[in-house]
Amino acid sequence: MSQPPVRGRFAPTPSGLMHIGNMRTALLAWLQVRSAGGQFVLRMEDIDKPRCRPELAEQALADLRWLGLDWDEGPDIGGPFASYVQSERESFYHEALEKLKEEGRLYPCFCSRAELLMVASAPHGLSSEGPVYPGTCRMLTEEQREERRKDKTPSLRIAAPSHDICFDDLAAGPQRFPSSSGGDFVVRRADGIISYQLAVSVDDAAMGITDVLRGYDLLDSTPRQLLLYETLGLTAPRFAHVPLLLGEDGKRLAKRHGGMAIAAMRANGIRAEYIVGWIAAHSGLLDRPEPVRPDELVELFRLDRIPKEPITVTDAMLRQLTG
């Protein structure tokens, strides 16, 4: 039986400027797809509307295109699975919620909104969503739920199964997550915003995504998404979680480390080919940083060449890039 064509994607959240860390993920995801002769999809994950800004979405498209990446479907060019903007796809998420409700998998949660604030955003590890939910509201009677509804609009949680979740990650290897690791998680916040976990799962399935390459910080979100695929009767993609770039403080490289924004580098006269070559050298694809275009790396890309451990970006390494 012939395999379906590879379809991969990159899905930035327009709540900040693109920086060298998420641009590296974009480049590696693009190379994985292009090296397989597949189709690359760009999707804007702006489901958390209060945090996202349209001008940042436009800037992300400009930064990606300037670096030399292209896409076959996306918010600016359309495609057979439009829209490619999450805030315009809410009807799909509500259909999924109805199905989960019909399956008897959802229950209302009346816990503090402060505990749930981050669930719409793409998390950087489950720790960003707070500790594992202890199931406080899972066993409430219908009478108790009706009484609490008088004072508070609930969020919706999915009742997680009691079995472990296992999968083979193409970059990180075999994974096993015990049932206790994720707990019952929120799929819709009390303010009506759909969670990242539900939106990304519904969208990847609807768009026929076969392969997802992303940062290692999202590895422990994967069991939650696999649970949603299983419960909704959807086909899950293959996952590859690659080690992160870290700052010298040991934290995930981000705009807080300064000088990381692609737009700032471009404004300072740094050529796109230098950035691509720097990323490639620190991702195992080149022996040393040298100017190169993304299309020149396609034949060099293999997942097994990417380092297995996080890479600490030192000041000296940054000087290689910024001069």
Whether 13 has a binding-site annotation, put simply, is: yes
Q: Which CATH architecture has domain 89-198?
A: Alpha-Beta Complex (3.90)
CATH 3.40.50.620 in the chain, residue ranges: 7-84+243-322
**Contact (CB, 8 A) for 248 and 314:** yes
Q: Which residue has the higher pLDDT, 4 or 56?
A: 56
| CB within 8 Å of 20: residues ≥ 6 apart | 245, 253, 260, 262, 265, 275, 278, 279, 313, 321
| CB within 8 Å of 266: residues ≥ 6 apart | 63, 66, 272
Q: What are the helix and strand counts (H, E) for the chain?
A: 9, 11
User: What's the pLDDT tens digit per position in 121-132?
Assistant: 556 556 556 567
- The arithmetic mean of pLDDT across residues 137-159, rounded, is 94
Whether 166 has a binding-site annotation, put simply, is: no
Whole-number pLDDT of residue 318:
81
Whether 319 has a binding-site annotation, put simply, is: no
Whole-number pLDDT of residue 136:
86
Whether 12 has a binding-site annotation, put simply, is: yes
| pLDDT tier, 207 (very low <50, low <70, confident <90, very high otherwise) | very high
Whether 222 has a binding-site annotation, put simply, is: no
CATH 3.90.800.10 in the chain, residue ranges: 89-198
pLDDT at 322 over 80: no
Question: Picking from 32-46, 139-153, 253-267, which range would have the lowest pLDDT averaged per residue?
Answer: 253-267
Whole-number pLDDT of residue 134:
77
CA distance 134 to 160: 12
CA distance 100 to 159: 10
Whether 52 has a binding-site annotation, put simply, is: no
**Contact (CB, 8 A) for 227 and 161:** yes
- The arithmetic mean of pLDDT across residues 143-166, rounded, is 92
**Contact (CB, 8 A) for 95 and 209:** no
Whole-number pLDDT of residue 249:
80
Whole-number pLDDT of residue 131:
63
CA distance 120 to 47: 7
pLDDT at 114 over 70: no
CA distance 215 to 212: 10
H-helix segments, 210-253: 222-232
| pLDDT tier, 314 (very low <50, low <70, confident <90, very high otherwise) | confident
Alpha carbon of residue 226 to chain centroid: 14
Asked: is 7-84+243-322 a CATH 3.40.50.620 domain? The reply is: yes
- Nearest residue to 262 (alpha-carbon basis) of 247, 248, 278, 243: 278
User: What's the pLDDT tens digit per position in 16-58?
Assistant: 999 999 999 999 999 999 999 999 999 999 998 889 999 999 9
Whether 299 has a binding-site annotation, put simply, is: no
pLDDT at 258 over 60: no
Whether 137 has a binding-site annotation, put simply, is: yes
User: What's the pLDDT tens digit per position in 36-45?
Assistant: 999 999 999 9
- The arithmetic mean of pLDDT across residues 141-145, rounded, is 96
- The arithmetic mean of pLDDT across residues 260-281, rounded, is 93
User: What's the pLDDT tens digit per position in 171-204?
Assistant: 999 999 887 666 889 999 999 999 999 999 999 9
Whole-number pLDDT of residue 256:
55
User: What's the pLDDT tens digit per position in 212-241?
Assistant: 999 999 998 999 999 999 999 999 999 999
Whether 111 has a binding-site annotation, put simply, is: yes
Whether 9 has a binding-site annotation, put simply, is: yes
CA distance 238 to 212: 6
- The arithmetic mean of pLDDT across residues 93-103, rounded, is 97
